Amino acid sequence: MAPDTPLLDPPPSSTRRRHGLIKQCGLILPSLVIFSVGLLTLAGHRSQQSLSISAGVAHHQAPAPAPARGLREGVSAKSIPGNLDEEGVSYNWTNAMFAWQRTAYHFQPQRNWMNGFAGPMYHKGWYHIFYQYNPYSAVWGNITWGHAVSRDLIHWLILPLALIPDNWYDINGVWTGSATRHPEDGNIYMLYTGSTGNLTQVQNLAHPADLADPLLLRWVKSPANPILLPPPGIGPKDFRDPTTAWLGPDGLWRVAIGSRVEKLGLTLVYKTDDFVSYELLDHYLHSVPGTGMWECVDFYPVLVNGTKGLDTSAVGEGIKHVLKASLDDTKLDHFAVGTYDPVKDLWTPDDPESDVGIGLKYDYGRYYASKTFYDEEKQRRILWGWINETDTEFDDLKKGWASLQTIPRTVVLDSKTGRDLLQWPVEEIESLRLNFFCFDEVLVGPGSVVPLHIGSATQLDITAEFEVELISGKKPGEENRCDGGAAERSSLGPFGILALADASLSELTPVFFRPVQTTLDTVTTYFCTDQTRSSMAPEVFKVVYGSSIPVVGDEKLEMRVLVDHSIVESFGQGGRRVISSRVYPTRAIYGDARLFLFNNATDVNVKVKLKIWEMNSAFIRPFALDQL
């Protein structure tokens, strides 16, 4: 078999082989249908001609959508990747297809545009989130703060808008910000960026009108606003997204703000004791050449050993600090682990080769503008990221909404590697688990696809553990990574699951591992998601996402995958690598969405243990304030 066998049309039925054993926890199911991958079962796209005949699908020329406003107004929104419908091609989506794309247990407002979160916090029994929201349209603009509350981070009640652009200092948008709770008086200081009428970015302060209100329904902007203007040397459009403040050894609070000087991405730090007047430090917390504007900077402590989260002001023995920046140039969230000197207010990466913006990413898929907060209720640090659409703005306008947030994830330092973070869906998500399917051991031979008979597969929580058995000699020196996708065969991989696949495998989204025998003694493993065959729609963005993934000691290869309609959120090796992917199938939807295992390696058998839960929908709707 050629190592780069193109995976084209599904094989005729005569090429299907029936063999194999599948042990469903407790039972043995004989003789499952196993398709031969080697015979090109992982279907690629058919030609446009056959597509329009077989699926009754037509393409039409769409009127050009209104241009994205972000870049002109000083912040880019849906500008990367470049799928702004340049050619005006759109699949002939039906309303039912659009309706299917809405998620069932990820947070998204009922309609219109949303981007990053601001000011997450816990207050009097409720988790609060605020989000960048356009109340009028499904594209970026008119940015206000939406507001929602939850008891458990899963079910959300949407409250009235918290902050709207109604002053000269935020008339062009109430942009991202962060909450700081004063440990003594309990006051909440909400710092946020305002974009002014002439598109200058300034920092502002707001307070809850009534701290005794668990819902924090009303917010008051400070009469001192704006409390910060761009300092000398910083461009008026390069000064945004204040962090949660942390308390220094001198009793003053520090607030970090993202910026740049030409291509030098950087973090400014201000000191304050009242959140109204500030002193700018004469040096940066940190900067990295060539990384461009740093948006949504986040800075927080993590335990070197331990799974508890830490308050943002924690420093001392056994604590490292994570610095994260959202890179405006690439729309990627990068972090690094390092050491913070609280006296000098300097942060140094542990590994300069893997500094912020040039090393690790939170998520190797579609993910941006993330933010953490410390949940004092459960002593954990929780991370959210914004997952934008990867269809066209034209289609977003037609469906009337755009983008969602990841499942909230706990984040801790990976004590095995000391340099990675482990992200994991909060435990509360398990309350949504419904029907359970357990497979003790599924043998997937080289070049096979195995269907998992679990019924409809659009809302799932999947955990899968892979045991790899070499059936021929080692082949050192192969160089395959994620890029070639699930269709590119190599000796030890790829293998994994096919999410959101239709029965004929004409659409599928593989989430997979690809171990590569780089030298005789070294195997480098990659964790990947391949969107290239995820949809018949020509205009949606389809790439292969992925990264190398450390596999430490005797760890088995394992993944957890949350499937929720148009999002496939995948966690490799306990969350050491994460890939969030948006996919827009046309056939593998509703009852026609299926789940399969596949092994496209040439020289290994894979035994897979699986636990799969069908997931309930979360309750996400407006708060019935009239019933209070």
Binding site for ligand DQQ (CB under 6 A): 75, 115-116, 132, 143, 175-176, 193, 240-241, 295-296, 369
The 8-class DSSP code of residue 38 comes to T
- Separation of CA 4 from chain center: 30
User: Least distance from C-beta 178 to ligand DQQ, angstroms?
Assistant: 11
CB-count burial class (<10 Å; 0-12, 13-18, 19+) for 17: middle
Residue 419's φ and ψ, nearest 5 degrees, are -125, -15
- Identify which of residues 77 and 360 has a Cβ nearer to ligand DQQ in the complex: 77
HSE (side-chain half, CA atoms, 13 Å) at 176: 30
User: Least distance from C-beta 329 to ligand DQQ, angstroms?
Assistant: 12
Please report, to the nearest 10 degrees, the dihedral formed by the alpha carbons of residues 93, 96, 102, 104 taken in order. Answer: -150
Output the residue with the shortest Cβ distance to ligand DQQ: 175
Find the length of the chain.
Answer: 628
Which residue's entry shows tokens 């090109």?
40
- Identify which of residues 365 and 572 has a Cβ nearer to ligand DQQ in the complex: 365
Cα separation, 193 vs 205, whole angstroms? 9
User: Least distance from C-beta 38 to ligand DQQ, angstroms?
Assistant: 44
User: Least distance from C-beta 615 to ligand DQQ, angstroms?
Assistant: 28
- Identify which of residues 115 and 531 has a Cβ nearer to ligand DQQ in the complex: 115
- Identify which of residues 35 and 175 has a Cβ nearer to ligand DQQ in the complex: 175
Cα separation, 65 vs 113, whole angstroms? 15
User: Least distance from C-beta 1 to ligand DQQ, angstroms?
Assistant: 45
Q: What is the DSSP string of 81-115?
A: S--S-TT-EE----HHHHHHHS-SSS---SSEEEE
- Identify which of residues 241 and 420 has a Cβ nearer to ligand DQQ in the complex: 241
Cα separation, 445 vs 34, whole angstroms? 9
Cα separation, 216 vs 206, whole angstroms? 12
User: Least distance from C-beta 176 to ligand DQQ, angstroms?
Assistant: 4
How much of the chain is in helix, strand and coil states, percent to nearest 5? 5, 45, 50
Cα separation, 606 vs 597, whole angstroms? 10
User: Least distance from C-beta 56 to ligand DQQ, angstroms?
Assistant: 39
User: Least distance from C-beta 369 to ligand DQQ, angstroms?
Assistant: 4
- Identify which of residues 296 and 540 has a Cβ nearer to ligand DQQ in the complex: 296
Q: What is the DSSP string of 433-444?
A: EEEEEEEEEEEE
Under 8 Å between Cβ of 8 and 50: no
User: Least distance from C-beta 355 to ligand DQQ, angstroms?
Assistant: 21
| Residue of 155, 234, 233, 169 lying closest to 199 (CA atoms) | 169
- Identify which of residues 173 and 585 has a Cβ nearer to ligand DQQ in the complex: 173
Under 8 Å between Cβ of 393 and 363: no
Which residues have CB under 8 Å from 374's CB, separation 6+?
A: 300, 309, 310, 311, 312, 380, 381, 382
Cα separation, 85 vs 329, whole angstroms? 20
- Identify which of residues 80 and 438 has a Cβ nearer to ligand DQQ in the complex: 80
User: Least distance from C-beta 330 to ligand DQQ, angstroms?
Assistant: 12
- Identify which of residues 296 and 551 has a Cβ nearer to ligand DQQ in the complex: 296
- Identify which of residues 32 and 80 has a Cβ nearer to ligand DQQ in the complex: 80
